[in-house]
Amino acid sequence: MSNNKGLLIVYTGASGVGKGTIMKELLAKNPNLRLSVSATTRAPREGEVDGREYYFVSHERFDELIAEDGFLEHAEYVGNKYGTPKEPVFRMLDEGLDVILEIEVKGFLQVKKACPDCVTIFIAPPSFEELQARLRGRGTESEEVISERLKTAEQELQSQSLFDHVVVNDDLDRAVEEVLSIIKDRKNNG
């Protein structure tokens, strides 16, 4: 990746770890940063808007996008499929924008292989108990989905060491500053 191109950032963390809250702050504080909007077969949660949080698509459409080689990466997560549309990511990077992919671990492994210059960040909870409490407290999923997500989270936590950086979300402002400085250092030092 040449210097006038943007930086590709992979941002991963277990469900309920507070990724979304940190992300909002990152986007507000770094005007050169863009979030890639993924496609998913999951149903929208209340308040989610098609084209903003996700492109909500059918399983058939998702499979068509795979066949068209439209994804930079894609993976299945707790019964649904998620994928990063390739074209907008490369377009934004060409424009010099830094692009952040909020994806799970299987997608991270694919992106790391395809784009070894990317910077990878894992957002970790202060403890597994804290994660459990947050996921239940959010109240957006059924108990069955929550326990599936917790099982997946336990596995994901074991992949932390594969990432360039692990940021513990013990305090929102601190975690945001840490991620911003990781991005800044990487931009300055290549």
41 lies in the site for ligand 5GP, by CB under 6 A? no
Q: Does 102 bind ligand 5GP (CB under 6 A)?
A: yes
The least distance separating ligand 5GP from the CB of residue 32, rounded to whole angstroms, comes to: 21
For residues 120 and 109, is the Cβ–Cβ distance under 8 A?
no
- Residue 52 tokens read as 């903003």
Q: Rule CB under 6 A: say whether 124 interacts with ligand 5GP.
A: no
Closest CB to ligand 5GP among 15 and 120?
Answer: 15
Q: Are 153 and 131 in contact (CB under 8 A)?
A: yes
Backbone angles phi, psi at 67, to 5 degrees: -65, -35
Selected binder of ligand 5GP within 100, 104, 120, 146 (CB under 6 A): 104
Residue 105 has phi, psi (to 5 degrees) of -65, -40
Closest CA to 104 of 189, 19, 1: 19
**Is there binding between residue 103 and ligand 5GP (CB under 6 A)?**
yes
Is residue 75 at the binding interface for ligand 5GP, with CB under 6 A as the rule? yes
One of 18, 62, 65, 82 touching ligand 5GP (CB under 6 A): 82
* Site size toward ligand 5GP, by CB under 6 A: 14
The answer to the question of residue 169 lying near ligand 5GP (CB under 6 A) is no
Considering the rule CB under 6 A, would residue 134 count as an interface residue with ligand 5GP? no
77 binds ligand 5GP (CB under 6 A): yes
Tell me the two tokens of residue 36: 């890639």
CB of 138 to ligand 5GP, least distance (A): 10
Position 98 contacts ligand 5GP (CB under 6 A): no
SS3 of the chain: helix, strand, coil, percent, to 5: 45, 25, 30
Decide: is 167 part of the binding site for ligand 5GP (CB under 6 A): no
**Other beta carbons within 10 Å of 120:** 20
* 83-87: long-range contacts, CB 8 A cutoff, minimum separation 24: 83/38, 83/39, 83/40, 83/107, 84/36, 84/38, 84/111, 85/36, 85/37, 85/38, 85/39, 85/55
Residue showing the smallest CB distance to ligand 5GP in the complex: 107
Applying CB under 6 A, which residues contact ligand 5GP?
15, 38, 42, 73, 75, 77, 82-84, 102-104, 106-107
